[in-house]
Every structure is written in C-alpha cells, then in structure tokens.
Amino acid sequence: MSHNLYLERYAWKNPLFPNYQPKTDLNLILVIPAFKESELLLALESINRCDGPKGSILLLVVINEAEDATEDISKINEKCLKELEAYQSKYELLFSYQKLPTKKAGVGLARKIGMDEAVRFYDKINGDGVIVCYDADCLCDPNYLQEIQKHFSDHKTKAGIVFYEHRFDGNHKKEIIQYETYLRYYIDSLRYSGYPYAHQTLGSCIVVRSSTYQAQGGMNTRKAGEDFYFLNKVIPLAEFVEINSTTIYPSDRASDRVPFGTGRAIGQMLQNGNEYAVYNPIAFEDLHVFFSHIESYWKGIEIRLPESINDFLEKKAESKIGEIRKQTNTFSSFRKRFFSWFDAFKILKFVHFARDHYYENVDLAKAMNWLNEVYPGVASKDPERQLMNLRVLDRKGFKSDQKDL
C-alpha cells in the first residue's frame, strides 16, 4: 500500500473495515448510504440482477443515523441491518452501521464515509477503480454495471453521470412528473444559455474514478446538496461523460429525510396542492446574452449586459472580466477561467437573485412553452408525454464543449 496524502489528511478518520483485503481485480465499488430506509433490499435485488462486468465488484452499504436519533429511526435502521445480515448477494456485500455526529449527520457525510472507504480499498491494491454512488431507493437496468465499466475502460475518463428516470410506481405520479420535468427544464435551459457544463446533479447518478475523487478533495459533508457541490468541481474536468446507455430509477416517494431534493419537493407539492412554479425563462435569456459575448470579453470589446446581470454583479462585471483577461494568455484559458468564476453555483445564485428582484417564477407549463421554442417538439399538453419528450432529448447526450479547455 502506497503513501496516500488524501487518506492521511482528508478522509474520514475511522476506517469501517480496517482488516478487509480487497480482491486484486476489484474495479467497481457501489457506495449506498441508507438512512431510515425501507426499500434497500429492492435496490440490492436490482443490482444483483445486473449482468456481471469484468473483474470484481463490491457493494458497500453505510447505514447511518445521528447520535441523537429517535428510537423510531433506530428501529428502522436496526431492521435494515438484520435484513442485510440475512441477505444472499450475488456480488460481494459489506455493510456498516454508523452513529454520526449530530451536527454533521446526513447523506453528505454518509456518502463521504463510504466513498473514503472505497479509496482505502483501492489503495490497498494500488488500484484506481471506479466509485459508484447509488441510493438505497433506486433500481437500475440490467446493463448498469457493464455500461459504467465500458465507459471507464478508457483510462482517460475521470467521472460521469448515469441517465435517470424517476419511477411512477407510487402514489405521486403527478407530482414526480412535475418535479422531474422541472429538473430537466433547468438543465436544458442552462444548455441553451451557453453554459458548457450543464449536467444533471443527482447523487445517485455520480460515478467517479478514485484518483479524481481524491484530487477534488472528496465528497463534502453537507446534509443535502452534496451532489451539486461535488459535481460543480468535477464536471469542468476534461473527460467527464454522460452514461446514457443505461438508466437508474429513483423512487417517487415523499420524504422528510433531507432538507431539499426529490423527496422533499414531492412532500411540499402534496402539502401545498399547487402546480409547480419554476424559474422564469427570461433569467436564462439574460444568461444567454451574457455568455454569448465571451469572445468579445476576451478581445476587450465593451458589451452592454442585461440589467439583471449587471445588478447581480454589482456593476463590477467589466473589472472582473478584465482581471481574468490579464491572468490568461489564450482565449481557451480565458474561457476556462471565466466559467470557473461564473460556475454552476454562481449561476444558481443569479437565478435566485433574478427571481427575487426581476422575474417572478412562472407555471411549469409556461416555462415549457418557452423551452419548446428552443427545442421544438418537447412541449405537450399531456404532462407525461412532455416528460417523455424531455427524456428523449436528454438521452441524446450533451457533451461539454471541452476541446479548447
């Protein structure tokens, strides 16, 4: 085992399986956080139905709860543990029950603990295998493991996301259709704006090579949104791929397990009973204007920016862009640094700023009519058909314009 700076300084300090010796051909590790989880065995069964890839794979489940978890939560987790102890898995299965510090307890820390353990396993065999994020309420296609492995057979591939489609097998079909339509509307609107790193950011979609995971500082420990912040660092890297040749299927259930995300959104829609309101398309139009002049910024040509952008940047856009220009020698490096500054997080902050000060949210139907002008044929009066249209559009794939980066 080689000297590893990440494990020494940044990883979770308490190894889950210090005496475990991985197989030398281990190249896929699926990390599955499980908190108050009732569908874990369904998720494992789905994985076990997958066609086997080359080499060995490992399923690593991190059952977790806060140190001050209620008795009800502990009972559910203990039941989950007993089910795992009795479960006969086709693929090697390890599991651990972790009591987490109350202030940090959440999916971000649980995911990090599992992913850091995966790094330890690969380090023991001097390997650089793939860490697969998978959630305990997901199902997957039979070719899921093989397609991930196929994309990472190119050793240049650093990270990627797997295509997803929410299931409609619960009681919340109307709500999940609206929510997934919103998720796809947001990303497709970003693509229209000219942002080169517009990809979905669901935690259960993430696949990343161990060396890349370490180089980016590992998973953060946010209670929710850990996937967005991690991918914001990883997506701009060269050799980021969309794996659209297979699919994972997250649950459509309502949930109070995280502060935001799918489960929380479904719960809020059920509680409010309203049609889903989304960011106003005009905000993306303003971003489109802002991003479309990037070559002019490089050349030092003064451009009149949309008022919302100017206001958001406190009228300091010209000085910031000038600073970036002074720090770069080529247009490609200028462009890379520009989008490192105005990244996905800053875009989200801008969209919220525009919503609060310029453009109120609009009904999803109105937003989709606008998107239909950008991508003709996606809008439909039938919400389910409309979502299917978006899925077809997105499955065609979107490769970030990274040739010059």
Q: 343-359: per-residue pLDDT in tens?
A: 999 999 999 999 999 99
Joined together, the tokens standing for residue 42 give 């369904």
**Which of 249, 275, 301 lies at the terminal end of a domain, its last residue?**
275
- 200 and 298 housed in the same domain: no
Among residues 275, 298, 315, which one ends one of the domains? Answer: 275
390 and 378 in contact (C-beta within 8 Å)?
yes
Q: pLDDT band for position 274 (50/70/90)?
A: low
CA dist., res. 332 & res. 210, Å (int): 28
Q: Considering the domain boundaries, does residue 404 fall inside one? A: no
Q: Which of 242, 275, 308 is the last residue of a domain?
A: 275
Kindly state whether residues 17 and 133 are assigned to the same domain: yes
282 assigned to some structural domain: yes
Please give the tally of structural domains in the chain.
2
- From the number of C-beta atoms within 10 Å of its C-beta (0-12, 13-18, 19+), residue 189 rates as buried
242/314 same-domain check: no
Over residues 308-319, mean pLDDT: 91
Per-residue confidence band for 257, with pLDDT thresholds at 50, 70 and 90: very low
312 and 202 within one domain: no
199 in a structural domain: yes
- Together in a domain, 97 and 141: yes
Contact 206, 161 (CB under 8 A): yes
Q: What is the pLDDT, as a whole number, of residue 253?
A: 64
Q: Are residues 246 and 316 in the same domain?
A: no
367 found inside a domain: yes
> Is 402 part of a structural domain of the chain?
no
Is residue 401 in a domain? no
Q: Left (φ > 0), alpha (ψ -120 to 50) or beta: where does 357 sit?
A: alpha
Q: What is the pTM of this model?
A: 0.90
Average pLDDT, the chain: 90
Domain that holds residue 365: 278-395
The answer to whether residues 238 and 270 belong to one domain is yes
Q: What is the mean pLDDT of residues 360-372?
A: 96
- Is 269 in the same domain as 302? no
Measure the CA–CA gap between 403 and 394, rounded to whole angstroms: 21
Q: Does residue 254 contact residue 266 with C-beta atoms inside 8 Å?
A: yes
Same domain? 296 vs 221: no
Residues 151 and 242 in one domain: yes
Please report, rounded to a whole number, the percentage of residues in the chain having pLDDT higher than 90.
78
User: Residues 106, 80: one domain?
Assistant: yes
Assign 252 a pLDDT band (cuts: 50, 70, 90).
Answer: confident
CATH number of domain containing 127: 3.90.550.10
In a domain, 104, yes or no: yes
Percentage of the chain beyond pLDDT 70 is: 92
In a domain, 103, yes or no: yes
Question: Same structural domain for residues 332 and 259?
Answer: no
